Amino acid sequence: MSTSRPRPIGLLTATLALLRKDLLIEWRTRARLNAIIFFALATLLMFSFALGPDTKLLEKNAGGYFWLAILFASVLALGESFRVESENACMDGIRLAPADARAIFLSKALGNTLLLTALGVLLVPVMVALYGVRIVTSVVDLGLILLLGSLALSAPGTVYAAISSNARARDVLLPLLLFPLVIPALLSAAKATTLVLQGDPMRQFDSWAGLLGGFNLIYWGVGFLLFPRIIED
Amino acid sequence: MGKFIKWGLPALALVVLAAGWWLGLAWAPPDREMGDVQRIMYVHVPLQWVAMVAMAINFGVAISYLMKASWKLDAAAEASAEIGLVLGTAGMITGAIWGRPTWGVYWSWDPRLTSQAIMLVTYTGYLVLRRFVEDPEKRATWSSVVAIIGAINLPIVWFSVRWWRSLHQVQSTPKTVDPEMTLALRVSAFGMLFLTLWFLVLRYRQALAERQAEVALPDALPSDLAAAGGANSSGVA
C-alpha cells in the first residue's frame, strides 16, 4: 500500500468536470444539437402536414405537439450521450477515476437537460410562426415548464440510455422503456404549455407545474441512487 | 413440499376458484343497477388484485437482488413480472368486456385505465429488456433497476380511483356491498391467489433452470473438461 493514494474527488467537482467535458465535445462537433434541432423541426412540420392546414386545430394542440417534438428528439439526444463514451472504452476510463459514479449520472442528466432546454428555446419561435399561437400568460412560466419538462425527460432517460446503450437493439429499447415512464411528465408539461398559450382562467398552471416538480424529485432521486449499479461491471 | 406444489396447490386453487365462481355466478345476488353484468367482478377484480401481488413481488425481489445478488431472486423477478403482465392483461380485457354494456364503450381514458395501460407497457418494456441483454449478470442488475423505476407506477394505479374521481368506481368496502357479494369475491380472490402462486412456482423453477444452464455453459465447453465438475454452480460472483 502506497501512502500517496489519490484523494477522492468531490461529487460536485467531478460532476462539473464531466459536464464540462461533455459540453466541450458537443460544442466542438455540434453533431448532436444540429441533429436534434432538425429532427424536432421536421416533427413540428409533420404534425401540420398530417393534420392538414387547419390552423385552429394546430393552435389548440400546439402544446402537445411541442412536447412530442421534444420527446422524440430527446431519444436521439439521450442515445447519443452514451455513444460518446462507448468509443475507445471511454466509459472504463471514467469509471476508473477516483470519483463518485453518481457524478456520471448527474453530469449526463444535466447535459441532456441543457440540450433539451436549448432545443425548446429554439422551437418556441418556430411553433409561434407555424401554428399561429401567442404566449398569453408569461414567458417566465413557459421557461419554467421548459426547464422542468427537460429535467423530467433527462433523469429517467439518462438511466435508461446507460442501460440500452449496452444492450442489443438499443434503438428500440430506449423509447420502449422511456415512453411509458414519462407519460405523466409529458402530460403535465403539455397541459401547462397549453395553459401558457391559451390563458389560464382557472389557475391550473401551478398544479401541473407541481406535478412536474414531484415527478422530477422522484426520478432524479431514484436515478441518483440506482445509477452506480448500472455501470458497474 | 414438492408433491404439494405439484398436485395439492393446483387442486386447492381450482377447488377454491370453482367455489368462488359458483358463489359469484349462482349464489350472490345480482347488482341492483347493473344486474348480472356485474358478476364479471368475481373474475375481473381477483385478476387485478393478483396482478398487483405479482408486480409487488417483482418490486420486492428487484430490491433484494440489488442488495444481495442471487440467481434465485433474478428467476423470481422474471417469473413474477411475466405472470403479473399476463394477469393484468387478462384483468384489463375482462374490464373492457364489462365496460361495453355498462359504460357504453370498451375503453375510456379514465385515470385508472390509463395508469393500468402504462403499467402494462412498462412491464412489457421490462421483459423486452430481459430478452435483449445477453450477459446474465448485467441483465439481472439492469432489469432490477428498471423494475424499481417502473414500480413507482404501482401505487398510482392503485390509488388512481381515489385521487381522480372519474368513470371507474372506487374500491368497494364490505360495508358498502352485500355480504354475499363480499364472500363470493373473497373466495374467488383466494382461488386466484393460489392459482397465481402455483404459476409463480412453476415459472420460477423454469427461469432458474434456464439461468443455471446459461451460466453453466462456458464451463461445459469441450475445451475445458477439467472445469466441468463445477459446471452447475449457480452463485453470482
The answer to whether residue A160 neighbours chain B at the CB level (below 8 Å) is yes
Name the H helices within B104-218: 111-132, 136-151, 153-163, 179-216
pTM of the shown model: 0.84
CB contact under 8 A, A226 and B66: yes
Q: Please list the pLDDT of chain B residue by residue as tens digits (237 residues).
A: 678 888 888 899 999 999 988 888 888 888 777 778 888 888 999 999 999 999 999 999 999 999 988 999 999 999 999 999 999 999 999 999 988 888 888 888 888 888 889 899 999 999 999 999 888 888 999 999 999 998 988 888 777 777 776 677 766 666 677 788 888 889 999 999 999 999 999 999 999 999 888 887 655 544 444 444 444 444 444
* Residue B231 confidence (pLDDT): 43
Minimal Cβ distance to B122: which of A180, A223, A229: A180
* Residue B209 confidence (pLDDT): 92
Who has greater pLDDT, B119 or A84?
B119
Which pLDDT band holds residue A74 (cuts at 50, 70, 90)?
very high
* Residue B224 confidence (pLDDT): 41
The answer to whether residue A66 neighbours chain B at the CB level (below 8 Å) is no
ipTM for the complex?
0.85
Compute CA distances B190 → B2, B3, B194, whole Å.
21, 21, 6
* Residue B228 confidence (pLDDT): 42
* Residue A3 confidence (pLDDT): 61
- Domains of chain A, by residue range, sit at 11-231
> What mean pLDDT comes out for the span A39-59?
86
Compute CA distances B196 → A92, B82, B119, whole Å.
43, 11, 19
Sign of CA pseudo-dihedral A64, B146, A216, B112: positive
Q: For residue range A124-171, what is the model confidence (pLDDT) as tens digits?
A: 999 888 888 888 888 898 999 999 999 999 999 999 999 988 888 778
Contact residues, chain A, for B127 at CB < 8 Å: none
Which pLDDT band holds residue A52 (cuts at 50, 70, 90)?
confident
* Residue A153 confidence (pLDDT): 95
Q: For residue range A173-203, what is the model confidence (pLDDT) as tens digits?
A: 899 999 999 988 998 999 999 999 888 788 8
Compute CA distances B35 → B46, B120, B168, B176, whole Å.
20, 30, 17, 17
CB atoms within 10 A of CB B225: 10
The answer to whether residue A229 neighbours chain B at the CB level (below 8 Å) is yes
CB contact under 8 A, A168 and B134: yes
Which amino acid, residue A1? M
Minimal Cβ distance to B142: which of A179, A223, A230: A230
Q: For residue range A10-22, what is the model confidence (pLDDT) as tens digits?
A: 888 888 988 998 8
Contacts of residues B11-14 at CB distance under 8 Å and 24 or more positions apart, as own/partner, are B12/B194, B13/B191, B13/B192, B13/B194, B13/B195, B13/B197, B13/B198, B14/B191, B14/B195
CB contact under 8 A, B152 and A222: yes
| Separation of alpha carbons A206 and B65, rounded Å | 39
Contact residues, chain A, for B147 at CB < 8 Å: none
Q: Is B46 exposed, middle or buried (0-12, 13-18, 19+ CB in 10 A)?
A: buried
In A, minimum Cα distance to B147 occurs at A177
Mutate: best of A153, A174, A227, A229, partner B, most B CBs <10 A: A229
Three cell numbers written together for A110: 444535466
* Residue B72 confidence (pLDDT): 92
| Separation of alpha carbons A53 and A47, rounded Å | 10
Closest-CA distance, B22 to chain A, in angstroms, reads 38
* Residue A69 confidence (pLDDT): 94
Backbone phi and psi for residue A9, each to the nearest 5 degrees, phi listed first: -85, 140
**DSSP assigned state of B36:** G
CB B144 within 8 A of CB B65: yes
Who has greater pLDDT, A8 or A95?
A95
Contact residues, chain A, for B150 at CB < 8 Å: 181
Q: For residue range A95-108, what is the model confidence (pLDDT) as tens digits?
A: 887 778 889 999 99
CB atoms within 10 A of CB B149: 23
**DSSP assigned state of B31:** B
* Residue B230 confidence (pLDDT): 44
| Separation of alpha carbons B28 and B35, rounded Å | 11
